[in-house]
């Protein structure tokens, strides 16, 4: 096995593990997590553009998955914050 393939495989495995872990712990996210997730989503969108333009389909698919997870986590934070701010009688 080529060393480059081993390194990229390990990096993808770590990234997938982190995505799954973030999804499982989404209820622990707070509004303070928003800025980091927003910057991560912007970076993922830019990286997706670069990889798609260069024709690197596997990297583009992985980046699209990361972007989707980031956007879902942002949605979860905003939804939780919206529910927290509503008066009790409208929940």
Q: What is the pLDDT of residues 17-71, one digit of tens each?
A: 999 999 999 888 888 888 889 999 999 999 999 989 999 888 889 999 999 999 9
Q: How far apart are CA 49 and CA 54, in angstroms?
A: 9
Q: pLDDT tens digits, residue range 64-80?
A: 999 999 999 999 999 98
Q: What angle do CA 41, 52, 33 make, to 5 degrees?
A: 5
- How many CB atoms are located within 10 Å of the residue 65 CB? 15
- Give me the domain span that covers residue 52: 3-90
Q: How far apart are CA 22 and CA 28, in angstroms?
A: 9
The count of structural domains within the chain is 1
């Amino acid at each position: 096995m080529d060393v480059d393939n081993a390194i990229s495989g390990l990096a993808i495995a770590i990234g997938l593990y982190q995505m799954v872990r973030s999804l499982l712990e989404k209820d622990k996210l707070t509004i303070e997590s928003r800025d980091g997730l927003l910057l991560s989503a912007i970076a993922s969108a830019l990286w997706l553009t670069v990889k798609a333009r260069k024709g690197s389909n596997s990297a583009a698919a992985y980046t699209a998955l990361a972007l989707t997870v980031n956007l879902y986590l942002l949605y979860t934070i905003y939804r939780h914050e919206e529910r927290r701010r509503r008066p009790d009688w409208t929940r």
